[in-house]
Structure 1
Amino acid sequence: MNRTYFKSTMREISDSVGRFVSIVLIILLGSLLYVGIRSVGPDLNQTASHYFEKQKLSDVKVTSTMGLTNSDLTSIKQNKQVKQAMPVHMTTLQKRRNQIVSVYGYQNGSKLDRLKLVSGKLPTKNNQIVLDKKAKQNGYKIGDTYRLPKSASLKRRTFKVVGFVNSPQYVSSTDRGTTNLGSGTVNYFAYVPKAVFKQKEYALIAVQFRNPKHYAAGTDQYNSYIDRQKTKLKHTMRNRPSARQKQLQTTAQNKLDKQSAKITKEEKQLAKVPAAYQTAKTKAAKKELIAAKAKVKKAEAKVKAIAKPTYLYNDRSTNPEYQDYFDESHSIAAIAIIFPGFFLFIAILITFTTVSRMVETNRREVGLMRALGYTKHEIAMKYIVYTLLAGILGAGLGGALGMLTLPQFVFSLLSNNNLSDFVGVIPWAYLAQTMVAGLVATLGSALIVLTINLREVPTNLMRERAPKAGKRILMERIKPLWKRLSFNQKVSYRNLFRYKGRMLMTIVGIAGCTGLILTGFGIQNSVDDLIPAQYENVQHFQAIVTMDKATRQIHAGQISAQKSALIKSVTARPTHGTANDTVSMVVPKATTNFEKYVSLKSVNGSKKIKLTNKGVILSEKLATDMNAKAGSTIILQISGKKVRAKVTGVIKNYAGHWLYTTPTYYHKLTNKTYHATSRLVKTTQVKKAQREKLSRKLLKQTGVLNVSFPQYAAGELSTGGLGSVVLIMIVMSGALALVVLYNLTNINISERIRELATIKVLGFYDREVTAYVARENVIFTVVGIVAGWGIGVFLHQFIMVKAQTGSILFPMVIHYPGYIWSALITGLFSLIIGVLTHYKLKGIEMLDALAASE
């Protein structure tokens, strides 16, 4: 390209700065959202993976119903795929009536599950303890004396608090898992030097596998790899249950043999005493020995009955909130599949139209250049440079801004986890995709129009295309209506259908932007309605009171009703598959009036499902994970025992995994006597101050161990990331709507510049000229908004189905304010563009516009 032609290209940009900037902006917005939102999921995964790798989070924790020994540790290390294995002492204690603490043994220089120091220092002496950062909520501070209840597992009870820590085993800043003690919920954890423990057996053995391909945490590849290694580890340990059983039996039998030998020896000594010298004391001693011998025989029977211990291999998904973190990441990734793609599609469509119109407008110049002897390649270079600049600037800047800002912004709003250091990855694939899309929209459209125009002879190119002829429209045939329209209205309606391509493109652009805005509001509605839908439509109790004996009545003025129930945390698995869900099992003492506490309605809400003695009822998302329906069978792990349960129904449920059954079926599953552990409580007032007052009042009553309010605790469900993504989507969609309307209006004016100049010459005032154009835009806007609502409903349904991960099932709702706001935002931008259009139309030079083309 020679210097003169290059100057011409630069002049083309300077003479139409608004058009060039609008093209760059549309591509930039599309690229920013596409790369930014699509990067959020991978970046959240990378942040977690980096944290877990740095803190050496174990892949699997091996536990046993009979504890673990050095023989178990040796057996685990024999597996060639095991990189490291670390035995851990742990005990869970009830420090107070409403305070449960898990105490771990701390090893200096731990190879696995390393603590992250928040403040203070790590323990170096036996009288030192570090507490979970969450324990600060209970008023503890560095330097305090910390007392534990008396325990057979620990050598001492009193410690000095020397620091606060986070553990990679607990992703959440609030959830510390469950236990069989007290309320069933662990409040926080603590670490003391391992030398303080006097346990012979280990509570668990943490295992890290070799990961030669460096699969990142949370990915399907990592999960599949760990599942394979768990299977191999189980095979390595296949003989340990029998060996451990034999060891336990042998140890116990040796003790009994010593007792038996001692009794036999004492009996022989008593037998040597002559009858004449036997006293009442001697006779009593004989009776005691006979009773002791009988006890030994009974004990020997129990020793023979010692069962094989059950070995459990728990991967990271059983760590509190671990899976929820990645589920939220996957939810955001699910939104990123469709929303940014559709956003970018609208941006490309409008850009394609804008560039095509620009080249079409310059057809006379193209014809002149052809006539002057310029080659097709030389002529095309001007538009190639122009569109390459716009495409590369828009896609490059947008992609870079999206990558650097949106993921970190979303991460900063995730307050419910202990991950503090954001680690991003460069999304080369997304950057390449958006660059290709930007160049297709700019360079591609220019090349297509140029190819068409350059086929024509120069004389044809130097003539303006003949304006499209007007045609009768359907409305004209409705004569009573047509007669009542003014002249200007008739012209406007004819023009709508005269330029069908422009009409369609404008409606599609407006509809796309409105649909994106409505989708954003819809996602926010679904997230916001999750908790109300659960605790107003499904579960109607406000509090769960855990008791030592749920047969006791509790009393408080705020309590309107109460019902005894057994509430237990169990693990559910499908009969075929690898899903592993932690489930809250609720077993009401009596099924009478249970619907007042929990609505057991079918998924479509058409019928009520009754609790029966023939099986269990599952919540909807749990049934989906288990691939179960009425008549199916699932595997439950209740207090370490695996049982098969029949499913009798599936109910609508939004938050959490729930399972309901009767006392009779519970006994059938566990072979244990049913004992209610809690009371479901309905209260008249639920404000925070009133909840705290009720909780204090109940905790003072005999037998009350804990009081919880699930609805308000559930407010901590990890959906903050989704909410922030929604905010981004609404703002970006609004910005796109503004740029799209501006561009399409510019195209409209440039296409009809001579027509508008003509009506100004005919005596139309500036306001009338503006109304001439604005009337069409109003119709396009209204039609686009209505069509956009349809697009928004479809996108919302599609996205929310994809976003349903973990234990969450979002309600499919869009409230009417969403429709109103999406219409108002689009309408407002249309009004702003209308005002800008008015001033642009005022500046039209009539003589220049009407000058002959030839």
Structure 2
Amino acid sequence: MNTTYFKATMREITYSWGKFISIVLIILLGSLLYVGIRATGPDLDHSAANYFNRYHLGDLNLVSTMGLTKQDLKLVKQAPGVKTAEATHMVTVKKAQNEVVSVYSFSRTAELNRLKLVSGHLPRSQHQIVLDQLAKRKGYRLGETYRVPKTSGLKNQAYRIVGFVNSPLFVSSTDRGTTNLGSGEVTYFAYAPQQAFNQATYATIAMTFKNTANLTAGTDRYNRQVQADQTRLENRLNGRPRQRRLELIQPALKKINSQLDRLNRRAAQLSQVPAAGQTARLKTASVKVQAGRQRVTTAKKQLLKTPVPTYLYNDRTTNVGYQDYFDESQSIAAIAVIFPGFFLFIAVLITFTTISRMIEKNRREIGLMRALGYTKGVISLKYIIYSLLAGLLGAVIGGIAGMLTLPRFIFSMLSNNNLTQYQSVIPWAYLIETVIAGLVATLGSAIVVLIVNLREKPTELMRQRAPKAGKRILLERIKPLWRRLSFNQKVSYRNLFRYKGRMIMTIVGIAGCTGLMLAGFGIRNSVNDLLPDQFSQVQHYQGIVTLADADHQIQDRNIHSQQSALVKSVTTSPTKGTKRNATVTMMVPATTKKFSRYVTLKNPNNGQPERLTNSGVVITEKLATDMNVHRSGQLTVKIGNQLVKAKVAAVTKNYAGHYLYLTPSYYRKITGKSYQPTSRLIRVKSTSAAARHDTNQRLLKQSGVLNVTYPRYSGSSLATGGLSSVVLIFIALSGALGLVVLYNLTNVNISERLRELSTIKVLGFYDNEVTAYVARENVILTLLGILFGWGVGIILHHFIMIKAQTGSILFPLTIHYPGYLWSALLTMAFSLAIGIITHYKLKHIEMLDSLAAAE
């Protein structure tokens, strides 16, 4: 009996290959996207963790505004929980007008932050040096002599280039951080042996903790653990800043006190000489002693004003490119929760309908088996095997294909980082989830329909269900319009509303696929509009000219207007409810009168303009969110080596990067320093590549001009490459799902109405008329599905882009009209293709077999 039933199941599959394959394909596509995209985030994190573990990237870096000593290193090593701690020297020098290099100390025995050798070998003597591979762009080659300007931190000025390297400290393949020298950006880094340095203090102390070894970088567990370890270390070193201040001032204070004592004794000696006996020489000496005492006293007061150094604890998020990589990973992970989930939902919904209709179609067979004495379990076995095969094949093949292809493809699109070795993990949880979803769609629907049908008596099952009675529809009540419709049109409209379940399911299926495609196009629009919107709606200047002299005037025929400003890279410290620092561009315009020509400050909630005032700073929207501060709140900002508190006067709309705007008056108030512009914001007449190049050349020849940058055209390094690749996958797979869904629904529609279609063929309808009879309904349902799909797509797009906003990026929520057009055209093209396939199927309907007596 089981063999016979298994054969019956195989015949059910072979007699309806199209239906079986369409079910498998729907589940396969849903599973492929669900597992593939959801596994991408963990795979990206695992690849990064493998890279950082291989090159022993430190968990935390300790830096101080007054340098670090051997005592600091000793205390860190002895701190509970610290596994390894190593100190590093560092010097940043300006090598040329547009070339700033950070030189780090290198030790062959170092355990942390090991270098990845690209070519050559690592330094073996104090006269050898290795360069960042970015230095190749400057023309440096192996074996050449490398010279640096004379600086107090390095013993030598000439080195031999023996290798090119990457460092785990710099995840980005283009960005090397900021500095106070030159243009404000580090061009590349270099490593020289420790013997080449003559610094008394260290620049940083890197460390790893004992309890982070088995945690994956970038994950919440890892971040929480590092935060806890950092807090313990801060508590242990709580009194160290004051000790360090005393270490710095005590030798000088001792010397000053000695000088003061000597001057006081000399003054006492001179005062003992009677006034009548004082000569001109003694009077002059007395005046000199008094002046010396005053000078030394002033020096002592200034020395005592030496501030307590600030000890900064920088986790990995402050490393250049590190957070950008994980922000992109998190953006993809955020999309992976929504888009594939909705995709799989549509697949499950359509599959549920298909399986249900298939069992409903076989009611007579089920009734006959019941009448012959077969148990419910045996009768169900055929449909359970059919459903299991379809569900498991689709879920397993789709899940494995998604796991093996999509994450690797997306990783290859992340070109703006130094991570080149892909490492995957088997996403067991997602594979199990998609198998469960596939079985719910197939086996679940089969079980539900079987339970309902097997409750009926065999005689009721063997009897054909009575067709639904026709009813008047709303359109019939509009008599002038109804009278103008042809007979075929009237029948089509009545059929649409006669089978409401089929109509709703078809509209939902088409709307889901159209919505997925529109959301995909919308994501692409939001990613592509990021920079254009930033520099058309927010920032209206094209270039920034960095000057050596604040009062220096620049002139060029391509400059339309210019504005003096202090432009500097600063860091905001974590506030309550946040865990990370943020690198921010601080902009202080010399005057606020015409500043709106260069930057538009606009309230993100109501669109009303904001103004710079002397009562606080204006910060960008994403910075306010990340730092958990709002209007009238307070922000801690590190400007150079100074930590200041700034009141937030307003929040402004911004799409790319973190910015902080304030007036010269408020800058002086919070820093206590005089205001000195460093740059000119320029608006140029022509922004073509040739015009920018020529303008650069002319400006750099002018005295006092240090650098010229064009932010809009250098902003391509924003981490959006992975999202762009995900969008292509979304659109392609959404289109494929739409095609299969339409085919499946049309197939179900024809199989349900076989007797009806055979009847109209017997009545004399030609093949084209029969096709039109069905196609007319499909066209109407497709158009309705497209309209509802646009609404679904808009909601889905907004939800996805809000979830994808990480790092310093705030995506514009825009969908351009071509997205609506293409999603509609693709859906209609698929509908047309299915219509052609349907036409040939309708031509081959066997009328006599279909009209055979049901009783």
TM-score of Structure 1 vs Structure 2, range by shorter chain: over 0.9
Q: Please tell me the residue identity of whatever aligns with 2:94.
A: Q
Native 8 Å contact 2:212 2:222 kept in 1: no
Residue 120 of structure 2 corresponds to 120
Native 8 Å contact 1:62 1:311 kept in 2: yes
Residue 51 of structure 2 corresponds to 51
Deviation of the 1:420 alpha carbon: 0.6
- Residue 373 of structure 1: SS of its match in structure 2? coil
Residue 270 of structure 1 corresponds to none
Q: Aligned ranges for residues 648-797 of structure 1 at < 5 Å?
A: 648-797=649-798
- Residue 829 of structure 1: SS of its match in structure 2? helix
Native 8 Å contact 2:575 2:628 kept in 1: no
Native 8 Å contact 1:602 1:609 kept in 2: yes
Deviation of the 1:239 alpha carbon: 2.1
Q: Aligned ranges for residues 103-114 of structure 1 at < 5 Å?
A: 103-114=103-114
Native 8 Å contact 2:118 2:165 kept in 1: yes
Q: Please tell me the residue identity of whatever aligns with 1:817.
A: P
* Structure 1: distance between partners of 2:517 and 2:619: 36
- Residue 696 of structure 1: SS of its match in structure 2? helix
| Identity, % of aligned positions | 61
Q: Aligned ranges for residues 143-182 of structure 1 at < 5 Å?
A: 143-182=143-182
Native 8 Å contact 1:120 1:164 kept in 2: yes
Native 8 Å contact 1:550 1:679 kept in 2: no
* Structure 2: distance between partners of 1:214 and 1:296: 57
* 1:249–1:337 distance in 2 versus 1, CA, 3 Å: same
Q: Please tell me the residue identity of whatever aligns with 1:850.
A: L
Residue 276 of structure 1 corresponds to none
- Residue 211 of structure 2: SS of its match in structure 1? coil
Residue 67 of structure 2 corresponds to 67
* Structure 1: distance between partners of 2:750 and 2:5: 27
Deviation of the 1:226 alpha carbon: 1.3
* Structure 2: distance between partners of 1:204 and 1:92: 13
Q: Aligned ranges for residues 578-593 of structure 1 at < 5 Å?
A: 578=578, 579-593=580-594
Q: Please tell me the residue identity of whatever aligns with 1:629.
A: H
Residue 428 of structure 1 corresponds to 428
State TM-score, norm by structure 1: 0.96
Native 8 Å contact 2:403 2:427 kept in 1: yes
Native 8 Å contact 2:212 2:226 kept in 1: no
Q: Please tell me the residue identity of whatever aligns with 2:601.
A: L
Native 8 Å contact 2:123 2:130 kept in 1: yes
Deviation of the 1:500 alpha carbon: 0.8
Report Cα offsets for 1:534-558 as digits up to 9, x if no partner: 0011000000111111221111111
Residue 376 of structure 1 corresponds to 376
* Structure 2: distance between partners of 1:530 and 1:337: 23
Q: Aligned ranges for residues 423-502 of structure 1 at < 5 Å?
A: 423-502=423-502
* 1:291–1:140 distance in 2 versus 1, CA, 3 Å: farther
Deviation of the 1:653 alpha carbon: 0.7
Report Cα offsets for 1:496-531 as digits up to 9, x if no partner: 011111111000000000000000001110111010
Report Cα offsets for 1:264-295 as digits up to 9, x if no partner: 9999xxxxxxxxxxxx9999999999987876
* Structure 2: distance between partners of 1:377 and 1:59: 60
Residue 639 of structure 2 corresponds to 638
Q: Does 1:241 align with 2:241?
A: yes
Residue 539 of structure 2 corresponds to 539
* Structure 1: distance between partners of 2:83 and 2:697: 49
Native 8 Å contact 2:212 2:225 kept in 1: no
Residue 840 of structure 2 corresponds to 839
Native 8 Å contact 1:605 1:652 kept in 2: no
Q: Aligned ranges for residues 109-508 of structure 1 at < 5 Å?
A: 109-211=109-211, 214-253=214-253, 298-508=298-508
Native 8 Å contact 1:61 1:313 kept in 2: yes
* Structure 1: distance between partners of 2:304 and 2:508: 79
Deviation of the 1:163 alpha carbon: 1.1
Residue 271 of structure 1 corresponds to none
* Structure 2: distance between partners of 1:575 and 1:23: 52
Q: Aligned ranges for residues 804-823 of structure 1 at < 5 Å?
A: 804-823=805-824
Residue 10 of structure 2 corresponds to 10
* 1:99–1:265 distance in 2 versus 1, CA, 3 Å: farther
* Structure 2: distance between partners of 1:770 and 1:469: 24
Q: Please tell me the residue identity of whatever aligns with 1:811.
A: P
Residue 513 of structure 1 corresponds to 513
* Structure 1: distance between partners of 2:69 and 2:634: 35
* Structure 1: distance between partners of 2:258 and 2:131: 44
* Structure 2: distance between partners of 1:575 and 1:137: 40
Which blocks of at least 5 consecutive residues in structure 2 are unaligned? 268-279
Q: Please tell me the residue identity of whatever aligns with 1:75.
A: L
* Structure 2: distance between partners of 1:848 and 1:57: 74
Native 8 Å contact 2:368 2:458 kept in 1: yes
- Residue 554 of structure 1: SS of its match in structure 2? coil
Report Cα offsets for 1:28-58 as digits up to 9, x if no partner: 0000011111111111111111111111111
Report Cα offsets for 1:786-815 as digits up to 9, x if no partner: 000000001011111111111111111100
Q: Does 1:623 align with 2:633?
A: no
Q: Which moved more, 1:236-245 or 1:668-677?
A: 236-245
Residue 603 of structure 1 corresponds to 604
Report Cα offsets for 1:92-138 as digits up to 9, x if no partner: 10001111100000010321111111111111111111111111111
State TM-score, norm by structure 2: 0.95
Q: Please tell me the residue identity of whatever aligns with 1:154.
A: L
Q: Please tell me the residue identity of whatever aligns with 2:71.
A: S
- Residue 774 of structure 1: SS of its match in structure 2? helix
* Structure 2: distance between partners of 1:53 and 1:808: 28
Deviation of the 1:83 alpha carbon: 0.7
Q: Please tell me the residue identity of whatever aligns with 2:634.
A: T
Residue 272 of structure 2 corresponds to none
Q: Which moved more, 1:670-679 or 1:375-384?
A: 375-384
* Structure 2: distance between partners of 1:626 and 1:69: 32
Q: Please tell me the residue identity of whatever aligns with 1:735.
A: A
